[in-house]
Amino acid sequence: MSYLTAYIPVAQGAACLAALQKAFVQVQVDPAPLTRSRGQVLADTLVERLTGQTTATAVNLEVQVTVPVQALLDPTSPLPAEIPGLGPVPADLLATSDGTASLRRLLTDQGLVIGGDSRQRTFTGLLATLVKARANNRCTEPYCDAPLRHIDHIHRHTDGGHTELENGRGVCEFHNHIREQPGWHVTRTPDGTVLTTTPTGHTYRGPD
């Protein structure tokens, strides 16, 4: 939780409070059952009006969290994860993200950032060069040797996949689009093998 304060003229402060109270009255007289307390309604209304969102939970937010690499390697490490400017947080909080709010983990060693989660949607720069070189600039789908045209997320970006070397593969335009059709699935196994499953249920192994 966090505190939000504003230092404004008393008339404007009174007007803000009156507007929030009016919003609660409107919720009270609504035929739908009231499932939130007065404080929750006031807080949600404040967030919605400040951010311009329809609901308070729709706020699109990224929180950067610095995580000592020792804390990931050793569960008993006393070094805490930390939200810069706010203080330490439990390391297990970083396991998942809910809704449109997300945590971006920044790995640190001796206080220096040495890595982190990618925010990029597409493969660019050196990362794209490495993926293309690994594929020899040819489509990596089994039995296809067409020129590489796209870099595809093995674990799709829309499903939470990261834009990183291990999650990228070079493919031709056809195979990048066909996997989006119903029944097609692309996965990477724990041993690093990329498997393509077709709508008929057949599975094909790509190059390691």
Cα–Cα distance, 86 to 84 (Å, whole number): 6
Higher per-residue confidence, 186 vs 121:
186
| pLDDT band at residue 97 using 50, 70 and 90 as cut-offs | very low
> What is the DSSP secondary structure assignment for residue 146, as one 8-state letter?
P
**Mean pLDDT confidence for 59-69:** 67
**Nearest Cα to 115, choosing from 162, 61, 60?**
162
pLDDT surpassing 60 at residue 191: yes
Mean per-residue pLDDT of the chain: 80
Residue 80's Cβ-count burial label (10 Å; 0-12, 13-18, 19+) is middle
- Range 10-22 average pLDDT: 92
pLDDT higher for 105 or 31?
A: 31
Please tell me the predicted confidence (pLDDT) of residue 19: 93
Distance between CA atoms of residues 185 and 173, nearest Å: 16
Q: Which helix (H) or strand (E) segment is 66 a member of?
A: strand 61-68
Q: Which of 38-42, 56-60, 64-68, 73-77 has the highest mean pLDDT?
A: 38-42
Whether 51 and 36 have beta carbons less than 8 Å apart is answered as no
